[in-house]
Amino acid sequence: MTLEQRVEELEAMVDSMKAQMEEVISAHTCAYNQITAKLDQIAVIQAERKA
């Protein structure tokens, strides 16, 4: 394998890893938003109970 081929292989690996990380970040962002929404709902319920 030539150096140029190896560089191309590594670049492809980096691109794949970037895509995977974007998927992970997206999933975590979605989960965070869902948790935040649930916490907001809980806060509203607690406020209603105190009122």
Res 25: pLDDT? 99
Res 3: pLDDT? 97
Q: Tell me how far apart the alpha carbons of residues 28 and 16 are, in angstroms, rounded to a whole number.
A: 19
Q: What is the DSSP string of 1-51?
A: --HHHHHHHHHHHHHHHHHHHHHHHHHHHHHHHHHHHHHHHHHHHHHHHH-
pTM recorded for the entire structure? 0.72
Torsions phi, psi for 18 (to 5 deg): -60, -45
User: What confidence tens digit (pLDDT) does each residue in 9-50 have?
Assistant: 999 999 999 999 999 999 999 999 999 999 999 999 999 999
